[in-house]
Homo-oligomer: A and B are copies of this chain.
Amino acid sequence: MDKPQPEHLKSAGLKSTVPRLNILNLFKSGQERHMSAEDVYKHLLASGDDVGLATVYRVLTQFEQAKLLVRHNFEGGKSVFELNQGKHHDHIVCLQCGHVEEFYDAAIESRQKKVASERGFAVHDHSLHIYADCVRKNCPHKR
């Protein structure tokens, strides 16, 4: 279902290589939406696709620059990536289980623009991370 074709990379100015196709394919597979370099590396090895960790880091950065992926810097020190699906959103991260929930709030977005422009800043982007606990018992996601 929707396996990445060489054209997807070509149109981003990147030549079609095995590691690039595998990484893009992993994100498109939808198994896990938010993944670190280490996560990607392990998934690829697990599925028999041999790849170097340095290549994973390089490709993730290239994909970020090509706007195929978006990078997030949550607490915990490591960058996390997700498919760029065009629509910006922010995140709630569960401190118990690590589950990441997405949301978009138009009021928050427009207030941010207002705050920044009132102070003479031209906004490039922003990150809004809410750290919380799943209230429900049986927090359904693993740490």
A128-B126 contact, Cβ under 8 Å, with A107-B107, A119-B92, A119-B101: yes
Number of copies of this protein chain within its complex: 2
- CB distance B129 to A116 under 8 Å? no
Residue from B111, B122, B124, B125 in contact with A108 in the complex, judged by beta carbons closer than 8 Å: B111
Number of interface residues of A (CB under 8 A): 33
Which residues 69-117 of A sit at the B interface, judged by CB distance below 8 A?
73, 75, 77, 92, 94-95, 101, 103, 105, 107-108, 111-112, 115-116
Give the distance in Å from the alpha carbon of A120 to the alpha carbon of B99 in the complex.
13
| Residues of B contacting A115 in the complex (Cβ-Cβ under 8 angstroms) | 92, 103, 105, 108, 130
Smallest Cβ distance from A128 to chain B, in angstroms? 5
- CB distance A132 to B122 under 8 Å? yes
